[in-house]
Chain A
Amino acid sequence: MIDAFLFIGLPYIALIVAVIGCVRRARLSKFSMSARSSQFLEDRQLLWGSAPWHIGIIVVLLGHLLAFLLPNIWSSVLTVPVAMFCIETLGIACALLALAGLGTLIFRRLTSARLQAVTTHSDLLVVALLFMQVLLGLLSAIYFRYGSAWSTGTVVPYLWSLLLLQPDMAYVAGFPMLFKLHLIGAWLFILLLPFTRLMHILAVPFTYLWRAPQRVVWNTTRRRQHAVAATIRAESRREFIKGAAGVTGATGLLALGVSSKAVNFFKGASHDPEAESAMLEKKLQRLQLTAEERGYELERQRNSMILVSPYAELDPLKGKYFIDYAMAPGLAFKGKDGMPIVMSAKCTHLGCTVSSMVDDNGRVLCPCHISYFDILTGMPNEGAPAKAPLAQIAWALVDATGKVVASRAPGQPVTGTLTPEALAQCGLYITKPGKASA
């Protein structure tokens, strides 16, 4: 019996009273629709109360409204578990946000004398009921999990049955007391709508969103000075905080980035056996090259003759590089008469090594500053950066038995003559400057 009153009688009474009352109030005192502002009396706590409360409760109410208006779409969305978890989490978070805000608002109402001067009994009743209602809803959501999903099969048909004037209590009769209280609370709010500040729900200030911005300017000297000082204070503090945060953040990021690179740098290469052996091999090769070069140096200090190449390997068009007694590069060619041409390969301009390829005019090129040297005379071309000829180097041909069969000192004719067959067996040597080639 009592259930029938609470879940069928009360809703209809509430709805009828609400509709008639709201229309009447809207007609009679239009400007009482919006809630009376208390921002002038107290504004700091209001921000931390009003904003979270309204944000939280609007999101929660929109959830209720969606489930009521579009139950099919709503339940099909909720079949995806992730979506359901998200909606449940969002709902609970917003309920907590609303409760925290409402708590702040209640505390504010109760502790400020200026506010109490404008607080009516209905205001207190409304906030107390609201707090209870949100708390009940939150507890229902926690104790009877996934209400967003099960409500579409129970509460929503009940509400629709009321709306279609075929009230069916069967859906709600078996509800736990906690949830029944939440439902009754909802009808009570609808009943109270026309008589309290709750009616501001219907006065949504949409035009606020696109109206031109307004600024309040206080036009008394004292107010102005106060405002300027407050702005400067706030600005300087904000600037300092912004700057400090920026510097700290940037320094932190920089330190993090640099140290992540630096630490790894000092930690050294990772041990990759293949890369390591390749590296070792390369180093060994270079060491051998260096040792070879040291060997040349020693050889040139001790020996009066150095092997350049077997005569058979000489070519008229491609010179053979060797290292002369000054440890500078030299080039050896086979001349047209069959006798070797041996000369320095160090450009007389700036000491580059000249190329070994002979061009059509019988010249080799120094690539650095484009000087062409005639390989017969060593002379550079006209107008070349190099002015002096490439130096001739003393050489000797030695046969298989170790006997010098032909030789030539720079600027002198060849001594000794050979048949081509004998030549092929010979090796080309350079001889130490200053020593007579024997």
Chain B
Amino acid sequence: MKLHETLRNTEKFLAERLPVEKMNYASMVQKKEVPVHGLAWGYYMGGLAMFFLMVQIATGLMLLFYYQPTVSDAHASVEFITDQVPAGALVRNVHAWASSLMIGSVLAHLLTAFAMKAFEKPRELTWVTGVLLLGITFAFGFTGYLLPWHQIAVNATKIGLQTIEEIGGYLPGQMAEWPRQAKEIIQGEASVGQATLSRFFSLHVIILPLAICGVLGFHLVSVQLHGMSKGIDAKPRHMERFFPTFLLKDLRVWGIAFMVLFILGVCLPFESLFAYPLFEPFDPKGSTPDGIKPEWYFFWVYYPLELLPLWVILVGSTLLAVLLLATPWLFKNTNRQTLRLLAIMAGIYLVIMTLFGENIYHLFKG
């Protein structure tokens, strides 16, 4: 009896979240409308993230033609792409820039969706898949960082993975060994080497793309089924048709994004933003270079990690993950004004940590 009820409730829950009866041309294309109001720019963020994902897939496939994922050849093949292949530097640079821009727009999408209460019933699953996509995007960044196999990449990956091992210090008895074993499973061997490179490569090129396609597919279908969320408490100024009005506007934003990306790709090598020479191949006998740090999009967790004990970060990030996944239920009754305030605060934190994280670190550590 109990099981039967649970099943029925589950079915009811899913039926409400996945209104497949709306899966037709009329309601997904002809009738879909987008509200117009002060926060409407937020509606473009998701599309922008998807645009950058498409750029990543295209340029990534192009890089795959020349990249060789072995310890001895990886760095040389990246150098070959940059120096010898026509437009190779451009393709690689666009891949690097678009990864950063994609993460930026994903974060903006998260914050705007939160501020607009876009997770409100029946859009809970859209939100949850969105959080998963955020995780996958970060995983893309982390795995892709290792592939050029230069000093910074390998050492940064080592440090990142070592953090997992550190968790063992907080666990009692036998369990203290588990994180180390987990790290070695990820690494494939005792230290970062060929096995790690192979694993990260297959993660970056096959497993994560497959995962993102599946999750993104669900995300997009549910967005199309439920339509755009209302976004604000007040009545929107007016509604505009999704097709073709909003879609054309969206394409215009994509066009601008492409232009910006292309100009960045042509004019500004991504590496030029780093203070250290990036192009030394990894040398297992060399010392770790000074001032090593992860990509900017990890600063928001990296600098606190440097300043605070690990357990604070562990507790904090676990809480954050739970908070993000449970947002649709936790903030069910919060009004949009409060949500907007929270999103602004989170945004300010991200911006400050990303831009001034290093200064804050030196402020406390000298």
Pairwise interchain contact B90-A351, C-beta atoms closer than 8 A: no
Pairwise interchain contact A286-B75, C-beta atoms closer than 8 A: yes
- Which A residues between 351 and 377 are near B, CB-CB below 8 angstroms? 351-356, 366-370
Docked complex Cα distance between A321 and B91 (Å): 38
Pairwise interchain contact A279-B73, C-beta atoms closer than 8 A: no
Known: A328-B191, A367-B289. A293 touches B284 (CB 8 A): yes
Known: A254-B258, A265-B86, A286-B72. A329 touches B190 (CB 8 A): no
Known: A329-B284, A351-B162. A283 touches B73 (CB 8 A): yes
Known: A286-B73, A290-B72, A327-B190. A261 touches B91 (CB 8 A): yes
Nearest B-chain residue to A280, judged by Cβ: B76
Residue from A261, A290, A352 in contact with B71 in the complex, judged by beta carbons closer than 8 Å: A290
Pairwise interchain contact A265-B91, C-beta atoms closer than 8 A: yes
Known: A328-B191, A350-B163. A286 touches B291 (CB 8 A): no
Residue from A269, A279, A352 in contact with B159 in the complex, judged by beta carbons closer than 8 Å: A352
Pairwise interchain contact B287-A353, C-beta atoms closer than 8 A: yes
Pairwise interchain contact A269-B289, C-beta atoms closer than 8 A: no
Nearest A-chain residue to B88, judged by Cβ: A265
Pairwise interchain contact B62-A368, C-beta atoms closer than 8 A: no
Determine the chain B residues whose CB is within 8 A of the CB of A282 once the complex forms. Answer: 76, 79
Determine the chain B residues whose CB is within 8 A of the CB of A354 once the complex forms. Answer: 287-288
Does B65 sit within 8 A of A, measured CB to CB? yes
Nearest B-chain residue to A284, judged by Cβ: B72
Known: A267-B86, A290-B71, A369-B306. A326 touches B190 (CB 8 A): yes
Determine the chain B residues whose CB is within 8 A of the CB of A356 once the complex forms. Answer: 287
Interface size, A (range): 35 or more
Nearest B-chain residue to A385, judged by Cβ: B306
**Interface mask (A239-267 → B, CB under 8 Å = 1, otherwise 0):** 00000000000100010000001101111
Pairwise interchain contact A270-B288, C-beta atoms closer than 8 A: no
Pairwise interchain contact A279-B191, C-beta atoms closer than 8 A: no
Does B260 sit within 8 A of A, measured CB to CB? no
Known: A350-B159, A367-B288. A268 touches B85 (CB 8 A): yes
Does B155 sit within 8 A of A, measured CB to CB? yes
Pairwise interchain contact A264-B284, C-beta atoms closer than 8 A: no
Pairwise interchain contact A262-B62, C-beta atoms closer than 8 A: yes
Pairwise interchain contact B286-A353, C-beta atoms closer than 8 A: yes
Determine the chain B residues whose CB is within 8 A of the CB of A2 once the complex forms. Answer: none
Known: A354-B287, A367-B289. A265 touches B62 (CB 8 A): yes
- Which A residues between 308 and 331 are near B, CB-CB below 8 angstroms? 321-323, 326-329
CB distance from A151 to the nearest CB of B (A): 55
Pairwise interchain contact A368-B159, C-beta atoms closer than 8 A: yes
CB distance from B364 to the nearest CB of A (A): 12
A to B contact number (C-beta, < 8 Å): 105
Residue from A254, A283, A329, A368 in contact with B76 in the complex, judged by beta carbons closer than 8 Å: A283
Residue from B70, B84, B190, B288 in contact with A368 in the complex, judged by beta carbons closer than 8 Å: B288
Determine the chain B residues whose CB is within 8 A of the CB of A125 once the complex forms. Answer: none
Does B80 sit within 8 A of A, measured CB to CB? yes
Nearest A-chain residue to B306, judged by Cβ: A369
Does A212 sit within 8 A of B, measured CB to CB? no
Residue from B87, B284, B287 in contact with A265 in the complex, judged by beta carbons closer than 8 Å: B87
Pairwise interchain contact A270-B86, C-beta atoms closer than 8 A: yes
Nearest B-chain residue to A351, judged by Cβ: B162
Determine the chain A residues whose CB is within 8 A of the CB of B193 once the complex forms. Answer: 327
Pairwise interchain contact B291-A367, C-beta atoms closer than 8 A: yes
Docked complex Cα distance between A282 and B191 (Å): 25
Does A86 sit within 8 A of B, measured CB to CB? no
Determine the chain B residues whose CB is within 8 A of the CB of A216 once the complex forms. Answer: none
Docked complex Cα distance between A287 and B72 (Å): 5
CB distance from A353 to the nearest CB of B (A): 5
- Which B residues between 274 and 315 are near A, CB-CB below 8 angstroms? 281, 284-292, 306
CB distance from B67 to the nearest CB of A (A): 13
Docked complex Cα distance between A269 and B365 (Å): 48
Docked complex Cα distance between A368 and B90 (Å): 32
Docked complex Cα distance between A270 and B80 (Å): 12
Known: A286-B73, A351-B162, A367-B291. A321 touches B285 (CB 8 A): yes
Residue from B76, B162, B290 in contact with A367 in the complex, judged by beta carbons closer than 8 Å: B290
Determine the chain B residues whose CB is within 8 A of the CB of A350 once the complex forms. Answer: 158-159, 162-163, 166
Determine the chain B residues whose CB is within 8 A of the CB of A117 once the complex forms. Answer: none
Does A170 sit within 8 A of B, measured CB to CB? no
Does B255 sit within 8 A of A, measured CB to CB? yes
Docked complex Cα distance between A326 and B191 (Å): 9
CB distance from A421 to the nearest CB of B (A): 31
Pairwise interchain contact A279-B84, C-beta atoms closer than 8 A: yes
Does A275 sit within 8 A of B, measured CB to CB? yes
Q: Most chain-B Cβ atoms within 10 A of its Cβ — which of A261, A279, A355?
A: A261
CB distance from A287 to the nearest CB of B (A): 5
CB distance from B276 to the nearest CB of A (A): 11
Pairwise interchain contact B72-A289, C-beta atoms closer than 8 A: yes
Pairwise interchain contact B284-A323, C-beta atoms closer than 8 A: yes
Determine the chain B residues whose CB is within 8 A of the CB of A345 once the complex forms. Answer: 287
Docked complex Cα distance between A263 and B71 (Å): 29
Determine the chain A residues whose CB is within 8 A of the CB of B258 once the complex forms. Answer: 254
Docked complex Cα distance between A264 and B62 (Å): 11
Residue from B86, B165, B190, B281 in contact with A264 in the complex, judged by beta carbons closer than 8 Å: B86
Nearest B-chain residue to A290, judged by Cβ: B72
Determine the chain B residues whose CB is within 8 A of the CB of A286 once the complex forms. Answer: 72-73, 75-76, 281
Docked complex Cα distance between A270 and B88 (Å): 12
Pairwise interchain contact B255-A250, C-beta atoms closer than 8 A: yes
Residue from A250, A269, A326 in contact with B86 in the complex, judged by beta carbons closer than 8 Å: A269
Pairwise interchain contact A275-B84, C-beta atoms closer than 8 A: yes
Pairwise interchain contact B287-A355, C-beta atoms closer than 8 A: yes
- Which A residues between 154 and 199 are near B, CB-CB below 8 angstroms? none
Docked complex Cα distance between A138 and B162 (Å): 89
Known: A266-B65, A286-B73. A367 touches B287 (CB 8 A): yes
Docked complex Cα distance between A355 and B288 (Å): 8
Docked complex Cα distance between A333 and B9 (Å): 70
Determine the chain B residues whose CB is within 8 A of the CB of A323 once the complex forms. Answer: 284-285
Pairwise interchain contact A327-B287, C-beta atoms closer than 8 A: no
**Interface mask (A32-62 → B, CB under 8 Å = 1, otherwise 0):** 0000000000000000000000000000000
Q: Most chain-B Cβ atoms within 10 A of its Cβ — which of A272, A323, A327, A368?
A: A368
- Interface CB pairs A-B, < 8 A, 13: A266-B65, A269-B86, A286-B72, A286-B281, A289-B72, A321-B286, A323-B285, A327-B190, A329-B287, A350-B158, A350-B162, A351-B162, A367-B291
Q: A290-B70, A352-B288 are in contact. List 15 more A-B contacts (CB 8 A).
A: A250-B255, A265-B85, A266-B65, A269-B80, A270-B86, A275-B83, A279-B76, A286-B72, A287-B72, A321-B285, A326-B190, A327-B190, A329-B284, A352-B292, A353-B155
The 3 nearest A-B residue pairs measured at CB? A264-B86, A269-B84, A352-B288
B interface residues, Cβ below 8 angstroms from A: 62, 65, 70-73, 75-76, 79-80, 83-88, 90-91, 155, 158-159, 162-163, 165-166, 190-191, 193, 255, 258, 281, 284-292, 306, 365
